[in-house]
Amino acid sequence: MRHINVPVFVPHLGCPNKCVFCDQRAISGVSYFSEDDACAVIDETLTTVGDGDECEIAFFGGSFTGIDRDLMIRLLDLAEGYVKAGRVTGIRMSTRPDYIDPDIIGILKRYTVRAVELGIQSMNDRVLALSKRGHTAADTARAAGLLRDAGIPLVGQMMVGLPGSTPRDEVDCAEKICSLGAAACRIYPTLVFRNTELCEMMNRGEYVPLTVDEAVMRSADALSVFARHGVGCLRIGLCDSERLSNDGDFVAGPRHDAMGELVKSELYRRAMKRELDSLEKEGKLTGSVEISVPKGDLSAAVGHKGRNRAEILASYPINSIVFLEKHSILWYNVEVRLI
Ligand code: SF4
């Protein structure tokens, strides 16, 4: 069964926050969001899903629990109508940690809310302050606790490459998201968009965006933490449909259409290297090898444009590699056998 999010983008009109990377503030105050449009978008998306698909209406794009309260409730009522009609199985939303409080939880509990995606971004207060997020790591811990007590699953969204953030901070953030009980995560390398404070910081030489390679390494470090804790990753990198503004607003940073695949490939590269290094140390590595990877991850293991395969063949005394998929292997693990 496929899980499908039916996305409804609700811009946070008049958002009072000033996150340095955010280009949604440029459109704040423009009330182009229409509830009729929401219905049309949901209906249209639902025509494209299969009978066996599990669909959820997903209020993304801003801080859903921070928008006008009446509008939020009307949208929840609208979405619940689709749940009651059996057309979707639930509702999810993205929001900020400081927009979760007991009142909001009380409202969400009246609806079939399957997950709240928190824009945690970092668990380091210095990084949060440099990014002008306007909330602290303690706000995130408190919000996660409220969601946990209410039985609402948490999806933790984090960023890599924020101003002042180090690889260590990002691994630490991933560890803390796991310890807060997240059911899943999303990892977003920081991008620079026009009309953002981050763009001005970059132009003043105060911020240097990550390269694609750096973003891949740092996202892979975070992903390996999530994988170790059994926390699934829903997405790595923004997809165009997650953005509200134009493609032309992208200025700089590690944007790559296959960012998720590159990051997964990096974890497979590390896993294969570990196994092959150990065989080589024992003096057993020769001839051909069979590398088994989890079902569905063959292309990630072979690498973008065959990069992992080429690197292994160039680095070890072997003639050929046969890749296999096996159900029994856990995410980002491999089995290597000499053949
Ligand atoms: S990222 Fe969200 S909270 Fe921050 S300024 Fe943009 S809309 Fe507001």
- Tens of pLDDT, residue by residue over 150-173, are 999 999 999 999 999 999 999 999
Instruction: Give 210's DSSP letter.
Output: P
If you take atom 4 of ligand 1, which residue's CA is the nearest one? 19
Strands 335-338 and 288-294: antiparallel
Mean model confidence pLDDT for the chain: 92
Q: Locate the ligand 1 atom nearest the alpha carbon of residue 63 and give its number.
A: 2
Q: Is 20 helix (H, G, I), strand (E, B) or coil?
A: coil
Best mutation site among 17, 95, 191 for ligand 1 pocket (most ligand atoms within 8 Å of CB) = 17
Nearest CA to ligand 1 atom 2: 62
- Tell me which amino acid residue 100 is: I
And the tokens for 112? 């079939």
Residue 244 in this model has a pLDDT that exceeds 70:
no
CA of 24 to the centre of ligand 1 (A): 7
8 A C-beta contact, residue 115 and residue 153: yes
Predicted local confidence at residue 272, as pLDDT: 97
SS3 percent helix, strand, coil of the chain, rounded to 5, is 45, 20, 35
Check residue 48 and give its pLDDT: 87
Which pLDDT does position 239 carry in this prediction?
67
The per-residue pLDDT for range 179-238, each reduced to its tens digit, is 999 999 999 999 999 989 999 999 999 999 999 999 999 999 999 999 999 999 999 998
Residue whose CA is at the smallest distance from ligand 1 atom 6? 22
Give mean pLDDT, residues 286-311: 95
Q: How far is the CA of 62 from the centre of ligand 1 (A)?
A: 7
Measured CA to CA, the distance from residue 303 to residue 295 in angstroms comes to: 15
Higher pLDDT: 249 or 116? It is: 116
| Pair 43, 35: CB distance under 8 Å | no
Tell the residue nearest (CA) to atom 3 of ligand 1.
Answer: 17
Q: Which residue has the higher pLDDT, 70 or 247?
A: 70
Whether 184 contacts 158, CB under 8 Å = no
State pLDDT tens for residues 8-41: 988 776 688 889 999 875 544 444 567 888 899 8
Task: Tell me what pLDDT residue 37 has.
Answer: 82
- How far apart are the C-alpha atoms of 31 and 184, rounded to whole Å? 32
**Closest among 257, 223, 263, 261 to 241, alpha carbons compared:** 257
- Point out the ligand 1 atom lying closest to the alpha carbon of residue 66: 3
Element (H, E) at 157: strand 154-160
User: In whole angstroms, what is the distance from residue 271 CA to residue 273 CA?
Assistant: 5
Q: Which residues contact 286 (CB under 8 A, 6 or more apart)?
A: 317, 318, 338
pLDDT the model gives residue 128: 98
pLDDT in tens, 66-110: 998 999 999 999 999 999 999 999 999 999 999 999 999 999 999
Residue 338 clears pLDDT 80, i.e. is over it: yes
Ligand 1 lining (C-beta closer than 6 Å): 12, 15, 17-19, 22, 24-25, 62-63, 96
Q: What is the pLDDT of residue 246?
A: 58
pLDDT cut 70: percent of the chain above it: 94
**Confidence tier at 248 by pLDDT (50, 70, 90):** low
b/e map 193-210, b = 16+ CB within 10 Å: beebbbbebbeeeebebb
- Whether this prediction's pTM lies above 0.85 is answered by yes
Q: Please give the number of the atom of ligand 1 that sits closest to the Cα of 96.
A: 3
Name residue 78's amino acid.
L
Report the separation in Å between the CA atom of 28 and the middle of ligand 1, taken as the mean of its atom positions. 10
> Using CA of residue 254, residue 9, residue 57, residue 87, what is the dihedral sign?
negative
> How large is the average pLDDT for residues 251-262?
95
- CA-CA-CA-CA dihedral for 118, 123, 126, 132, to nearest 10: -10
Task: Find the mean pLDDT for residues 38-45.
Answer: 90
Q: What is the pLDDT of residue 29?
A: 40
Nearest CA to ligand 1 atom 1: 22
71 C-alpha to ligand 1 centroid (Å): 18
Nearest-atom number in ligand 1 for the CA of 28 is 7
Query: Which has the higher per-residue pLDDT, 321 or 11?
Result: 321
Structure tokens at 180: 């807060």
Architecture of domain 3-257: Alpha-Beta Barrel (3.20)
Atom of ligand 1 nearest to the CA of 23: 6
